[in-house]
Structures are given as structure tokens and as C-alpha cells.
Amino acid sequence: MNATHRVVVSPASGKRESLAVLALVASILAGSVTTVFLHRDVEQISALPEWQIDLRGGLNAAEQGITADLSNAAGEIAFLSDTSPEALADEGLPPFTADVTATARGGHIWEVIERDSIRAWLGRPARSEVARPMLLRLMDETPTVWITERADAPPADLDDASLIAGGWRMVVSRYDASVTRKDAH
């Protein structure tokens, strides 16, 4: 009696394991989306006052570079005894140096202005199609950068109200706006 008994072994299937992994991935994804949604900051982008201009959205690349140079130079100026534009150029401080970068950014010609213990450095561009006139002001050791469409003569006074009345706008950096630059010039 030879009875053959056959056992059929079906091939191994990972169907259950695959479904378990898929369910785990779906739950992690749902949890991540929920966490991000609940923790995001939804702030309204506020409009700047007319007398301010956004560094990233209101200035072109050349003006952004000059603003960065002026901000860096402001930290160095405090340690120098001679702060004339010529002395700052001799120190190698951009944007006061007449190099290739300064030329590409409009070739500003700098002069120092002092009014009532407020010092400022006014730069008028040789090429106004590249960049606008800019002003670095040190008031109470706090540097601010200002920009205008035209600067035929130095400002009469260097306080905020006088600069604003003269058509100057303070360069500010807003962090609620997109970081993508849109070059409108």
C-alpha cells in the first residue's frame, strides 16, 4: 500500500508584511502632515511704511551687495581714527575701495557728512542705471542704510524725519517675505 499523499506548499507571499509596512508609512505620513500643519506660523505679511524699503524685494543685486558691504564696514569704522572715504578705501573696506566689484555695482563716489554728532557716508553712483545713491548713517553707534532715487546734494540733516522728507528710504530686512529675489530692474 503505497499511498501517496501530496502536500501542496504555496510560495511565500509578503502580502501581509507589505500591507503592514504600507499602513505604518501611511500613519507616519499622516502624523507628519498633521504636525507640520499645526505648527506652522501663519502670519500676515505686513506692508512696510512708505519710508522703508525691503532689502530683498526692493533692491537689485548691486544695491544688495553695497548694503552688505556698508553693514560690514560700519563695524570696522568704529575702530578707525580717520573715517574719510579715502582712509576707508586705504583700509580696503568695500564699498569704499575703487575695485572691479565697486565699478560693477555702480562706481559710487563717497563723501562723509557730519551733522549734530551724526556721521554718514553718502555714495553717489557714477552709473545710476546700475544702482541708486546710498547712505550709511551712524547715529548713536547704530548703523542704518538709506537709499534714494536721486541725491543731487547731501541731506540737510541726518535724522529720520529729514531723510524721509528728502525722499530717502531706510533699507530694512523683512523675514516674513519669500527668500526668492525678483529682479524687477
- Edge-to-edge order in the sheet of strand 134-139: 52-54, 169-172, 142-147, 134-139, 118-124, 109-115
- Nearest Cα neighbor of 153 from 145, 162, 144, 161 is 162
CA distance 30 to 114: 61
- Tens digits of per-residue pLDDT, 52-87? 999 988 999 999 999 999 999 999 998 999 999 999
- pLDDT for 154: 84
Residues 112-123, mean pLDDT to the nearest whole number: 92
CA distance 2 to 113: 115
The residues, ordered by sequence, that sit 6+ positions from 126 with a Cβ below 8 Å of its Cβ are: 106, 107, 108, 109
- pLDDT for 185: 45
The answer, yes or no, to whether residue 165 has pLDDT greater than 50, is yes
Q: Whole-number mean pLDDT of the chain?
A: 88
Percent of the chain exceeding pLDDT 90 equals 65
Residues 19-34, mean pLDDT to the nearest whole number: 94
Least confident window among 19-23, 80-84, 93-97, 175-179: 175-179
The residues, ordered by sequence, that sit 6+ positions from 148 with a Cβ below 8 Å of its Cβ are: 132, 133, 135, 166, 167, 168, 169
Residue 51 neighbours by CB distance under 10 Å: 15
Element (H, E) at 113: strand 109-115
- pLDDT for 107: 95
Residue 118 neighbours by CB distance under 10 Å: 14
The answer, yes or no, to whether residue 93 has pLDDT greater than 50, is yes
The SS3 call for residue 54 is strand
- pLDDT for 145: 97
